[in-house]
């Protein structure tokens, strides 16, 4: 039946998505145009920018809080969903483990300083794919072991399994945006950004509630479902017959650019404040908004308690998917679920995950050494132009509010101008995915052309298939001062 297709898709999200959009390297780095996307109130020093179409910002990030969830441990050598889920379960994930995926592609991005030069207007369009899942420990135990958790051949009765752990969301969207950056004075810069979301594909579970347990009665067993309020919704994925309705890539992209009928709004705010002692404070809040999915929506809900009389669940090892698939089909065809399961086509609203970023940094300037015919001297900027270079070090914090959990990160960083055309930033990040994440970003300018590249978790790059976390970012822009 259609619901099992969405349930398996949710399981794939848990097992295949192997964390949010921190972008700690690009944040407040080298006054790039992309810093305005992370903090609309960032300080900038250019008059115009034009992103190279489709190449101004390429970003990919994946992560799992369980360090054993890697490509080699989960996917390598598998050829079916059952093997992938089995490999995932062998890593002994807990109910606090999360899996997150984020990908971004800027279609175009541009900006210019307005007639009132205190104001800088920027605008553009980018495509984004997100996946988030919390590991449902109770349901995973039931999926693999049925009602015999200790393997002694005797089913356990009255053990509760919490359905609220089933929590996942995925989406493919396009984001049109326009932002304004205003320099208030030498110490304060403010900014805001308005976003129009266009959803192409979406899937999310409800804030599920429910308790399952097995009870023994005089003539057998009962599967008892209590306090039920559970459901799963999708848009653009399957129809109410369980048939895939995902179009070809061109159609999906067109829907993401505004033709899908799923729309929403969001806003960003940010600021930069400078103090007397060369300290700079920044902060931003992003994606205060929502998307209303109303096109090709299929929702399945169970909102009433029920009991099924049957033998205890006992999935055979290595054939769990087939077991549960056959069991679902038999229950549905026998009418045991048909009157409990509501199928709806009504729209649903997906709240965007709010992101908070902040930083404090110390800026130091140094005088560039130049060669004299008689000796090497250090020249002040007052005497020879463009001879002072900057170094910065400080701390960044990040929070992303996901269902039932908060993703967080703390980053120490050091950035250095090696010349007026070359800058680098080095980061050390601690978050839910790693305690030894070292990253580096490099920004190079050749006249008006800018190229920047950033990579995280450098220690894992030589064996990326054994890494539970990685991110990469690349961008090309034309910057006019």
Q: What is the pLDDT of residues 397-435, one digit of tens each?
A: 999 988 778 889 999 999 999 998 999 999 999 988 888
Per-residue pLDDT, 206: 75
Per-residue pLDDT, 386: 52
Per-residue pLDDT, 9: 55
Domain count, the chain: 1
Q: Is residue 149 part of a domain?
A: yes
Per-residue pLDDT, 373: 45
| Ranges of the chain whose pLDDT falls below 70 | 1-21, 241-243, 368-387
Q: Which domain holds residue 11?
A: 2-356
Q: Which residues contact residue 132 at a Cβ distance below 8 angstroms, ignoring those fewer than 6 apart?
A: 98, 99, 100, 101, 168, 169, 170, 353, 402, 403
Other beta carbons within 10 angstroms of residue 122's beta carbon come to 22
Per-residue pLDDT, 3: 59
Q: Which residues of 53-71 are buried (b: 16+ CB within 10 A; e: fewer)?
A: eeebbbbebbbbbbebbbe
Question: Could you tell me if 94 and 69 are in contact, meaning their C-beta atoms sit under 8 angstroms apart?
Answer: no
Per-residue pLDDT, 309: 93
Q: Rounded distance, CA 409 to CA 21, Å?
A: 11
Q: Rounded distance, CA 200 to CA 16, Å?
A: 21
Question: Could you tell me if 341 and 302 are in contact, meaning their C-beta atoms sit under 8 angstroms apart?
Answer: yes
Per-residue pLDDT, 378: 43
Q: Rounded distance, CA 137 to CA 96, Å?
A: 9
Which among 360, 350, 388, 36 has a CA at the least distance from the CA of 190?
36
Q: Is residue 58 part of a domain?
A: yes
Q: Is residue 152 part of a domain?
A: yes
Per-residue pLDDT, 6: 57
Q: Is residue 251 part of a domain?
A: yes
Which among 245, 295, 167 has a CA at the least distance from the CA of 5?
245
Per-residue pLDDT, 379: 42
Q: Is residue 245 part of a domain?
A: yes
Q: Is residue 394 part of a domain?
A: no
> What number of CA atoms fall less than 13 Å from residue 336's CA on the CB side?
16
Q: Is residue 188 part of a domain?
A: yes
Other beta carbons within 10 angstroms of residue 420's beta carbon come to 12
Per-residue pLDDT, 280: 96
pTM exceeds 0.85 for this model: yes
Q: Rounded distance, CA 393 to CA 29, Å?
A: 11
* 11 torsion bin: left (phi>0), alpha (psi -120 to 50), beta (else): alpha
Q: Is residue 403 part of a domain?
A: no
CA distance to 54, 87, 460, per residue, from 474 (Å): 11, 33, 19
């Amino acid at each position: 039946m259609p619901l099992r297709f969405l349930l398996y898709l949710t399981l794939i999200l848990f097992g295949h998505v192997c964390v949010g959009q921190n972008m700690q390297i690009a944040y407040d780095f080298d006054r790039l145009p992309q810093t305005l996307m992370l903090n609309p109130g960032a300080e900038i020093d250019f008059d115009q920018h034009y992103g190279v179409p489709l190449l101004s910002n390429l970003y990919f990030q994946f992560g799992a809080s369980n360090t054993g969830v890697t490509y080699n441990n989960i996917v390598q050598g598998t050829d079916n969903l059952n093997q992938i889920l089995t490999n995932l379960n062998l890593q002994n994930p807990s109910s606090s483990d999360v899996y997150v995926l984020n990908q971004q592609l800027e279609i175009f991005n541009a900006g210019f300083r307005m007639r009132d030069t205190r104001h800088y207007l920027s605008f553009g369009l980018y495509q984004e794919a997100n996946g988030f899942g919390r590991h449902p420990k109770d349901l995973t135990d039931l999926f693999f072991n049925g009602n015999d958790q200790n393997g002694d051949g005797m089913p356990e009765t009255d053990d509760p399994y919490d359905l609220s752990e089933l929590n996942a969301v995925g989406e493919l969207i396009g984001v049109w945006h326009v932002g304004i950056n205003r320099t208030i004075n030498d110490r304060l810069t403010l900014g805001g950004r308005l976003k129009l979301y266009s959803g192409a594909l979406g899937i999310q579970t409800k804030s599920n509630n429910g308790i399952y347990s097995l009870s023994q009665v005089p003539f057998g067993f009962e599967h008892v479902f209590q306090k039920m309020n559970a459901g799963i919704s999708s848009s653009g994925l399957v129809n109410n017959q369980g048939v895939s309705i995902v179009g070809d890539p061109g159609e999906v992209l067109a829907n993401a650019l505004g033709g899908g009928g799923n729309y929403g709004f969001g806003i960003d705010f940010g600021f930069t404040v400078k103090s007397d002692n060369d300290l700079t404070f920044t902060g931003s809040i992003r994606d205060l908004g929502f998307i209303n999915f109303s096109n090709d929506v299929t929702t399945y809900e169970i909102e009433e308690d029920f009991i099924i009389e049957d033998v205890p669940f006992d999935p055979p090892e290595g054939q769990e998917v087939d077991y549960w698939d056959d069991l679902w089909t038999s229950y549905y065809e026998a009418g045991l679920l048909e009157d409990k399961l509501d199928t709806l086509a009504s729209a649903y609203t997906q709240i965007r995950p709010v992101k908070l970023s902040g930083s404090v940094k110390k800026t130091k300037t140094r005088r560039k050494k130049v060669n004299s015919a008689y000796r090497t001297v250090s020249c002040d900027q007052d005497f020879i132009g463009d001879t002072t270079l900057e170094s910065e070090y400080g701390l960044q914090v990040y929070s992303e509010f996901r269902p039932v959990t908060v993703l967080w990160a703390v980053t120490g960083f050091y950035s250095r101008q090696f010349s007026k055309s070359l800058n680098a930033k080095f980061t050390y990040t601690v978050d839910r995915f790693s305690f030894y994440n070292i990253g580096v970003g490099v920004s190079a300018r050749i006249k008006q052309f800018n190229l920047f590249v950033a990579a995280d978790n450098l220690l894992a790059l030589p064996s990326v298939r054994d890494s539970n976390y990685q991110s990469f970012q690349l961008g090309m822009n034309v910057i006019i001062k």
